[in-house]
């Protein structure tokens, strides 16, 4: 396909997407997931339409019922008349087990609703790929007019967690008695939650878990303006899910009224820029591995144990970019 | 501490480590795990002693008994009189569950043996950190005279898998009837295994799983010189673990006799260099986020939706390094 034809076809996708065409949104999401020049073109074209949705991150250990909760939350969001997109970030592991496909199919209860768009994104093995693709996928969702975008991290890796954490509102989902609650408290990830959910509230110990979380939050939380609420739910039977949605909306209101929304979006943009820059460096090196004799010579020295990797990396940066380090102060 | 004193103390660690002092190895591993200038110093100092061990990656889904197998393998390796180090790469997830500590404690059966050194490495949240720290940790293990270094990936993330995959010999551990076998076959990760183990061989379906793996390997494997063996073991009772050790040694012999060892080490060095270069770019940007007015201005434009992220990244690379892209051909 010639560049002109390609641009014409991308322009059609972009225009139709802005008009709410679901097939174009699906196409656009595939394109940004694949990355490359077409993705960059689409993002450049649709960037002005992005940055408007309320981004909700849903995270937590496997098996706590995140997908069921998302399913129930969609109903709440829809009953407020809002258009919602869901990005389910699938495990970065090839050993994914069998639950995910079932979860996705369960959420298909909403497929007849034109104002709900659900999409799974897999990590295609691209280093840093899921995170970067997710930022762009959110933009596609926003350009298509979704007022709420839920980012559910099905995976349990650090990068999936980082994605959930850069949302405007992060919901941390736990369940009673799994020990994960204590684990979470200990490992200091409590601070990433803006709203806490103890799901599977019909299991014994749900209220005890909720009190433990509350106690731990009170200790770490002195002086903060936002007091993180802890909701006990049973997403399966829809119990108390409306309270979760109310908490999420209250958090959004808090973000709007404080300067926190800007602060969070600044942090998100910084993270994205950092990963994009790392990715450019990585791609430049990959190109040079084949073509640059300077890089090849460094590689050979490493293999002959004549040059250590840190020196080698500095030498390669020199070769690629002319200098390896910017003076810290201008 | 002054630079001179610091170098003196690092030099002592390095010298003692090469002489086989266990406490110095432990210190060195902590230092490379933390990264930074001290780590770079140690790696530079000890690099000439590295690159000598047989690196064995052990990977597979959670719950298949990887740690028990490693434990049993250590006994085999020791009965051949070889000195062995184990790096257990812990999950990159903060939701780690409770099994790992128990596994680690179980392996302590070897702690009285001065020729066995076991170390857990956690992902400290550093982007790309585990992979980079692992390469350096392997070097410390090698400099300390370990002839075999086992890299067990307890985690299930893409990066942990990548670590196991860059070993000289990768052992893929599965178990009967978990569905993970089929999952692995489907997801195309079979190709990373040099030796296959169906552990928990006392469970029903073990031989069936082994045949399925063999059949799948034969399909994908035509023309390859190395025929991946499939061993059914029960690591708990030590059953057939000696066969796994023999297969691993045969694979090593194959690598030595073909040009495959060089090929693998080249790939490993390329991966490491790529991640180091990405990391330098990332760190440069992080420094510049605070100090460079050019980078700040790009960030503000992104926040005001005036510049899309891909253009922003190119602009920042320009600002950091003077140019964003090296011509592909010299």
Asked if A99 has any chain B CB less than 8 Å from its own CB, the reply is no
Cα B158 from chain centroid (whole Å): 11
**Angstrom distance (rounded) from CA B284 to CA B298:** 15
* Closest Cα in chain B, distance from residue A155 (Å): 9
A305: phi > 0 → left, psi -120 to 50 → alpha, else beta; which? left
**Angstrom distance (rounded) from CA A1 to CA A153:** 36
Phi, psi dihedrals of residue A234, rounded to the nearest 5°: -130, 90
Contacts of B284 in chain A (CB under 8 A): 277, 325-326
Q: Nearest CA to A149 among A165, A162, A138?
A: A138
Contacts of B285 in chain A (CB under 8 A): 273-274, 277-278
CB atoms within 10 A of CB A265: 17
A-chain residue closest to B135, CA distance:
A309
- Looking at chain B from residue 307 to 326, which residues have their Cβ under 8 Å from any Cβ of chain A? 308-314, 316-317, 320-326
For B74, the token pair is 């250590």
* Closest Cα in chain B, distance from residue A259 (Å): 14
For B248, the token pair is 């691993």
CB A316 within 8 A of CB A298: yes
User: How many residues in total does chain A contain?
Assistant: 330
Are A321 and B321 an interchain contact pair (Cβ–Cβ within 8 Å)? yes
Q: What is the pLDDT of residue B100?
A: 47
Asked if B271 has any chain A CB less than 8 Å from its own CB, the reply is no
B-chain residue closest to A123, CA distance:
B158
DSSP-derived letter for residue A193 is -
Q: What is the pLDDT of residue B158?
A: 65
For B178, the token pair is 């978990």
Are A277 and B43 an interchain contact pair (Cβ–Cβ within 8 Å)? no
| Residue listed under structure tokens 């073990």 | B206
Asked if A192 has any chain B CB less than 8 Å from its own CB, the reply is no
Asked if A180 has any chain B CB less than 8 Å from its own CB, the reply is yes
Asked if B291 has any chain A CB less than 8 Å from its own CB, the reply is yes
Q: What is the pLDDT of residue B106?
A: 56
Interface test with A, best of B264, B321, B328 (most A CBs within 10 A): B321
Are A269 and B299 an interchain contact pair (Cβ–Cβ within 8 Å)? yes
Which of B51, B180, B308 has its CB closest to that of A43? Answer: B308
Q: What is the pLDDT of residue B6?
A: 77
3 state DSSP class of A170: strand
Asked if B81 has any chain A CB less than 8 Å from its own CB, the reply is no
DSSP-derived letter for residue B315 is H
Mind listing the pLDDT tens digit for each residue in B214-242? Answer: 888 887 766 678 999 999 999 999 999 99
Q: What is the DSSP string of B162-225?
A: HHHHTSSEEEEEE-TTSSHHHHHHHTT-GGG-SEEEE--TTSTTHHHHHHHHHHHHHHH-TT-S
A99 pLDDT higher than 50: no
Interface test with A, best of B281, B288, B317, B319 (most A CBs within 10 A): B281
Confidence category of residue A180, pLDDT binned at 50, 70, 90: low
Q: What is the pLDDT of residue A169?
A: 95
Q: What is the pLDDT of residue B105?
A: 52
**Domains present along chain B, CATH in parentheses:** 50-258 (3.40.50.300), 271-321 (no CATH)
Confidence category of residue A326, pLDDT binned at 50, 70, 90: very low
Let me know if A254 is exposed, middle or buried by CB neighbors in 10 A (0-12, 13-18, 19+): middle
Are A269 and B302 an interchain contact pair (Cβ–Cβ within 8 Å)? yes
Q: What residue ranges of chain B have pLDDT lower than 50?
A: 96-102, 125-126, 324-330
Print burial letters for B62-91: b (CB count within 10 Å at least 16), e (below 16). Answer: bebbbbbbbbbbbbbbbeeeebbbbbbbbb
- For the segment A220-247, the average pLDDT, to the nearest whole number, is 91
Mind listing the pLDDT tens digit for each residue in A100-155? Answer: 444 555 566 677 788 999 988 865 544 556 778 889 999 999 999 999 999 998 66
Are B189 and A94 an interchain contact pair (Cβ–Cβ within 8 Å)? yes
Are B262 and A303 an interchain contact pair (Cβ–Cβ within 8 Å)? yes
* Closest Cα in chain A, distance from residue B330 (Å): 6
CB A186 within 8 A of CB A211: no
| Residue listed under structure tokens 């799948």 | B216
Confidence category of residue A91, pLDDT binned at 50, 70, 90: low
For A226, the token pair is 């936002």
Task: Choose between A95 and B260: higher pLDDT.
Answer: B260
* Closest Cα in chain A, distance from residue B89 (Å): 13
Contacts of B185 in chain A (CB under 8 A): none
- For the segment A277-304, the average pLDDT, to the nearest whole number, is 88
Asked if B273 has any chain A CB less than 8 Å from its own CB, the reply is yes
Our CA angle for A19, A20, A25, nearest 5°, is 115
Are A269 and B328 an interchain contact pair (Cβ–Cβ within 8 Å)? no
Interface test with A, best of B39, B121, B158 (most A CBs within 10 A): B158
Confidence category of residue A94, pLDDT binned at 50, 70, 90: low
Mind listing the pLDDT tens digit for each residue in A43-89? Answer: 999 999 998 899 999 988 778 899 899 999 999 999 999 999 999 88
Q: Nearest CA to A267 among A193, A146, A140, A163?
A: A163
Are B292 and A330 an interchain contact pair (Cβ–Cβ within 8 Å)? yes
Dump strand ranges (E) for B47-168.
Answer: 54-59, 84-89, 116-121, 148-153
CB A216 within 8 A of CB A185: yes
Are A156 and B329 an interchain contact pair (Cβ–Cβ within 8 Å)? no
Alpha-helical runs (H) found in A148-240 = 158-165, 180-186, 206-220
Q: Nearest CA to A66 among A177, A184, A170?
A: A170
Asked if A272 has any chain B CB less than 8 Å from its own CB, the reply is yes
């Amino acid at each position: 396909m010639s560049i002109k034809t390609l641009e014409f076809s991308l322009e059609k996708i972009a225009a139709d997407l802005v008009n709410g065409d679901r097939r174009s949104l699906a196409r656009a999401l595939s394109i940004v997931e694949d990355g490359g020049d077409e993705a960059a073109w689409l993002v450049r074209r649709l960037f002005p339409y992005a940055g408007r949705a309320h981004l909700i991150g849903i995270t937590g250990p496997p098996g706590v019922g995140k997908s069921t909760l998302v399913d129930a939350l969609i109903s709440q969001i829809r009953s407020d008349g809002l258009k919602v997109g869901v990005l389910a970030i699938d495990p970065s592991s090839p050993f994914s087990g069998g639950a995910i496909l079932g979860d996705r199919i369960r959420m298909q209860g909403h497929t007849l609703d034109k104002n709900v768009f659900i999409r799974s994104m897999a990590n295609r093995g691209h280093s840093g790929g899921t995170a970067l693709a997710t930022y762009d996928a959110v933009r596609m969702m926003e350009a298509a007019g979704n007022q709420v975008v839920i980012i559910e991290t099905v995976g349990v890796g650090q990068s999936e967690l980082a994605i959930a954490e850069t949302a405007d509102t992060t919901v941390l989902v736990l369940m009673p008695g799994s020990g994960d609650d204590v684990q979470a408290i200990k490992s200091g990830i409590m601070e990433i939650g803006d709203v806490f959910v103890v799901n599977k509230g019909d299991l014994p110990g749900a209220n005890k878990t909720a009190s433990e979380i509350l106690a731990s939050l009170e200790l770490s939380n002195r002086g903060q303006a936002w007091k993180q609420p802890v909701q006990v739910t049973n997403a399966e039977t829809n119990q108390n899910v409306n309270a979760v949605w109310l908490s999420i909306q209250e958090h959004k209101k808090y973000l709007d009224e404080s300067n926190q929304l800007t602060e969070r979006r600044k942090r998100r943009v910084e993270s994205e820029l950092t990963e994009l820059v790392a990715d450019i460096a990585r791609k430049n090196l990959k190109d040079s591995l084949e073509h640059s004799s300077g890089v090849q010579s460094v590689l050979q020295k490493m293999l002959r144990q004549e040059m250590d990797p840190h020196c080698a990396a500095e030498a390669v940066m020199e070769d690629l970019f002319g200098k390896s380090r910017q003076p810290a102060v201008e």
